[in-house]
Structure 1
């Protein structure tokens, strides 16, 4: 399993963000139930969100991000993705 951090910067269109957010959260909740997403949520200023994914590889992560309502509804303005080598602590 690989661990990735994903920071998603939102569009400036706050109405589109508000409209897509319920579907995005339902999508992530299913991934949490499956053990794929360890944690997720927006920054306190709601400028972006952050999630930790546990997946087989980058291709699986890309597929999951492509299916995310924030992607399909064009709410994700940008994403910063890093493969993360967890040295201390545990994720899930």
Structure 2
């Protein structure tokens, strides 16, 4: 059974975020095509963004998140929380 994980990507460096945005978006597109993303978007106040990943474990999601150029290049931090969706 798959779980949902909300990943908050708080802004660390706005200049780096702008520079690595195309790489970040490409990374997210690949994850979406692989069926690993439920939803994604930026916060309109500039605080960062949120990606809701689909996976088996928090560790699995963390390994994916660490590959995001925003994370690997120090543009954003990350917090991962398992998310129980209520419909």
- Give the TM-score of the pair, scaled to structure 2: 0.90
What's the counterpart of residue 84 of structure 1?
Answer: 83
What's the counterpart of residue 52 of structure 1?
Answer: 52
**Runs of 5+ consecutive residues of structure 2 not aligned to the other structure:** none
Q: Equivalent residue of 1:67, what SS?
A: coil
CA deviations on 1:45-64 (whole Å, 9 max, x unpaired) are: 22210111001111110100
Structure 1 consecutive aligned stretches of length 4 or more whose deviation exceeds 3 Å: none
**Runs of 5+ consecutive residues of structure 1 not aligned to the other structure:** none
CA contact (8 A) 2:58 2:80 kept: no
What's the counterpart of residue 6 of structure 1?
Answer: 7
- Give the TM-score of the pair, scaled to structure 1: 0.86
Total equivalences in the alignment? 86
Aligned-CA RMSD value: 1.1
What's the counterpart of residue 43 of structure 1?
Answer: 43
Shift of 1:87: 2.6
Separation (CA, whole Å) in 2 of partners of 1:50 and 1:59: 18
